[in-house]
Structure formats: C-alpha cells, structure tokens
Structure 1
Amino acid sequence: MDFSQEIIYDQNSILIVAVLFVLILLASEVGYRLGHYYQSRTDTDVKTQTNTIQTGTLGLLALILGFTFNMAVQRFNNRSEAVVIEANTIGTAMLRTNLLPEPYDSLTYDQLQQYILLRLQVGNTKYAMVTELENLNKATKVLQTEIWMNAVKAARIDPRSVTTGYFISALNDMIDAYGKRNALLALHVPEVILFLLFIVFIMSGALMGYAAGLGKKRTTLPSIMMTFLICLVVFIIIDLDRPKRGIIKVNQDSMLHLRGDDYEKN
C-alpha cells in the first residue's frame, strides 16, 4: 500500500487532532446557536427526543472509538511480535552457522550481522522516507540472495541434513519472518474508518451544542473537557497506527540484542 497517496497518514498527528478539536468546538457552537434560536418554539417532547438522539449518537461514537482503538492496538501488538519473531529466527540462523563447513561458517555469520543492521535501519526509517525504505528493502533482498547462495555452496560440500540442512531450515524461517514483518508494517487503520470517526465526533459535538441551546443553561467547561479527552484517545489511535512516526514506537530491543555478546560467535 502506498501511504503517500493517503490524506491523513502524511499529516502530523498533533495537527490532525488539533484541527479535529477546533472543528468539534465550532460544530458545538453552531449547534448551540441553532438550538438557542429554536428554544422558544420547542416543547418538552422535542427536547426529550433531542436528548435521546444525542445519547444514541454518543453511544455510536463510543462504539466506533472503541472499535478503532482496539484495531490500532492489535496492529501495534502484531508489529511488536513480528520484530521478536524475526529477531529469534535471525538469532537461530546465526547460531547454526557453526554447522556450516569452512569458510561459509564465518562468511555467513558476518553477512547475518550486516542483515541485522539493515533490519534495524528499516525499523528506524519513517514511512514518509519512501526512497530510503525502497533502497533498504532492495539491499536486504540482495543480501538474502547472497546468504542463500552461500548456503547452497555449503550444502554441496556437506549435504547432511543435521548440519547444513539445519541452517537452511533456519534461513527459510528468517526469510518468512522478513516477509511477515514487512506485511504487518504496511497494515494500519483504514482512513475510511478514521473519517467515519471524525464525522460522528463532529456531529456529536453539534448535537451536544444543539441540546444545550434548547435548555436554559450551558455547561461549556464539561463539554470542552469531554471533547479534549476524546481527542486525546484519537491521538493515541493515530500514534499507535504509525509504527515509525509517532511517540509510541515498536520496541527494537530484541533485534539490538543480536548485536550483543549473547550472539557472538565462539
């Protein structure tokens, strides 16, 4: 999926939430003025019906908000899990390089160290940097091919399944984990759901303002506080949906540990 063709994904999350907050306040003010205009012409039944519709709209907002939040959290957890799985498969492949005949044992080990650096760079590159990501993915695939060719050459020297075969099996798992992680990084909350959330949010603000206008008193501060809190939840949803751009980022420690002493070759 090309994120550069989307509207929301390319925008700053704080800016999105700030604009949304202002739009809610404007909708609430317009609704209030409209309700205040019809106040003298409205009876108790209409006010009761308006409050009922307002409650139903807020319930719908809560449902969509919870659904979207859960979707964003699931995607974030899946990305985090994918990093751990890929790190484990790379670590297994590194350990099994000891089973390869010389000189492919040390050569492949060094190539896997370079592979880790490429995967760490991908994890730290923003999706807005499209060219950089494409170059990193190309370099990763080239390195995968080189490692695979070394495994093939090693298998010709030592075709036993308990030595070279074990490494090839680990290499297959590593390549599969690479594809799965890339696919999960590309998944995010569809923009149509976010637009639906924003529309319901704005309409809820207008209804709250209209209901306040039909009454005799207006509770401005509580309405602003509730709007702010919901906007804060929207910010968290958008932030979770941006694995490389937001405040909440996928932990790369499992990949970093592969560069430590735990995986140094004996």
Structure 2
Amino acid sequence: MPNLLLTNLLFIIGLYALLELGGWLARNASSSDAPPASGVVFAVFGLIIAFTFTTSAQRFDERRELIVHHANAFGTAWDRLDILPEEDREAVRAPMREWIGLIDRPVQGPIQEHLVAIESEALSLQQEAWDNAVAAVKRTDQPALTVFILAPLNEWSDLTTLRRTRGDVGLPPMVLGTLIGLSLLVALVAGYAMTKRGNPLLLHKLAFTIAIGILLHVIVDLNAPREGLIRVDRADRILFELYEQNKIPAESAEAKAPPDAD
C-alpha cells in the first residue's frame, strides 16, 4: 500500500510537470489557438477512464458476491453433514473448521506471499474434507446421500477455484499503461490549451492533476481488493461469522460436563 501511494504521488508530480511543459510550449508557440486535436484527446481519455472505472467497479462487486456465495455453500455443506454419524461428521468438519479458520490468520510478510500460502493450505484442507466425505457416504450404503451431501461440498470447492481465478483477473498491464500514457498526454495538451486561453491559476493546475491522480488511484485500488483502501474485508465478515460459530472443536458431552465433586 505505501508503494502504491508513493507511485501515485510521483505520477501526480509528473502530471503537473507536463502541465507546466504544455504551458511553456503555449507561451513560445506562434499560433494563438489551442491545437484542434485537443478535444479529441480529451474525449478519448474520458471514454477510456469511464469504461475502465466501470469494469473495475463491476469486477470488485463480483468478488464480493462470490464471497457471499462461498459462505452460503460452506454453510449448506456444514449443515447437511448432520445426517452422518458423529464420527464421520466430525472427520469432515475438522478440515472444514481449519479451512474457515484461515481467515483469522494474521498477515505475515508481503500480502501476496501470504495469500499464496493460505490458498495452498485451503485447497489441501478442502481435498481432505472431500475425501473424508466420500468415504463417509460410502459407509452409509445409501446412494441418495451422495448428491445430498457431496453436491454442496463440490460447490464449495468449485467456488474456491472460481475466487482464485477472479482474484488473478485485474487491470491488464496494457490498459494500465495506456491510461498512464494517455493521462500524461492529456496533461501536456491541457497545459497548452489552458495557457492559450489565459494564464491559469495554480488552483486550476493542482485541481486538474490531483483529480486525474485520484481517479487513476481508485481504478488501481479497485483491482487490488486485498491491498489498497477499497477492500472486500466487509464481505469477508460473513465467513468470519461462520468461523466464530464453528471454530470450537466438537467435544463429547462427558468432556463438556464439569468434573464431579468427590
């Protein structure tokens, strides 16, 4: 996150420098009018910004919805295990309990390395839960339970894969590079156009550069929902509540009962 803020600050400084360069070119140009292509540059920039912002916001919303669906699939799979005998039920729920407990693990080191480690462990726990569930269903010798119990477990696993895939889909480097390059070009043209129409105030220059800088920062932030200011942590609260409900390992009634006073 600090690197992102520092990069954005340097980007805003670069925008302002090109804005000043455009003003210098305008003061030393022989023509008295702004270049006719400036309107086209501004229009293209506005369209690309609007499209990129919309798709980034939509992608962020899809990630939040996937978390909700993931929590629902987990809850359904957990509840349907009640039909199994206690020993088989707990054999499946134990790795499920560990899986959802990963959300409470503190971040250590770089966020990306932490997420990779968590994903690897989560997949291993899901596979363990699946194998134990398959074995438990076979022992019941009731084919009807196959779909009833294994279907939500399969959906839970599929949504994990889907979330991993969606997590890797961010802002394409080509699009980000185009936005940065076009922003710098717009700053140059804007500095030229503003100076040709009169001596722009410092406030106008700062407002222009900061507005573009903030807009680019929000777009990048929307595509990094685990690192920036705009995060999916609130949606994670649903999974955390499931963790709070199910984190206590199952114990027998004898273990829960207080010892007899002799």
Under a length normalisation based on structure 2, what TM-score does the superposition of the two structures give? 0.85
CA RMSD of aligned residues (A): 2.6
- Distance in 2 of aligned mates of 1:126 and 1:16: 23
State the match for 2:57 in structure 1: 73
Aligned residues: 248
Q: 1:186 to 1:205 in 2, by over 3 A?
A: same
Q: 1:240 to 1:126 in 2, by over 3 A?
A: farther
- Distance in 1 of aligned mates of 2:20 and 2:165: 44
- Distance in 1 of aligned mates of 2:133 and 2:231: 35
What amino acid is the match of 2:54? N
- Give the drift of 1:58: 1.4
Q: Is the 8 A contact 2:194 2:200 kept in 1?
A: yes
- Give the drift of 1:121: 5.4
State the match for 2:72 in structure 1: 88
What amino acid is the match of 1:54? S
Q: 1:261 to 1:129 in 2, by over 3 A?
A: closer
Deviations 1:187-219 (A, max 9, x none): 101121111111111111111212234344334
State the match for 2:22 in structure 1: 31
Identity %: 23
Q: How does 1:2-13 map to 2 (within 5 A)?
A: 12-13=3-4
What amino acid is the match of 1:93? A
- Distance in 1 of aligned mates of 2:129 and 2:198: 75
- Give the drift of 1:114: 0.9
Under a length normalisation based on structure 1, what TM-score does the superposition of the two structures give? 0.83
Q: 1:30 to 1:53 in 2, by over 3 A?
A: same
What amino acid is the match of 2:24? R
2:81 is the alignment partner of 1:97: yes
Q: 1:108 to 1:262 in 2, by over 3 A?
A: closer
- Distance in 2 of aligned mates of 1:186 and 1:77: 15
What amino acid is the match of 1:87? A
2:222 is the alignment partner of 1:240: yes
- Structure 2: where are the runs of 5+ without partners? 251-262
- Distance in 1 of aligned mates of 2:224 and 2:108: 9
- Distance in 2 of aligned mates of 1:177 and 1:87: 10
Q: Is the 8 A contact 2:16 2:206 kept in 1?
A: yes
Q: How does 1:110-259 map to 2 (within 5 A)?
A: 110-118=94-102, 120=103, 128-250=110-232, 251-259=235-243
What amino acid is the match of 1:74? Q
- Distance in 1 of aligned mates of 2:63 and 2:109: 14
What amino acid is the match of 1:57? V
State the match for 2:31 in structure 1: 42
Deviations 1:209-250 (A, max 9, x none): 122343443344223212212211111111111111001111
Q: Is the 8 A contact 2:19 2:190 kept in 1?
A: yes
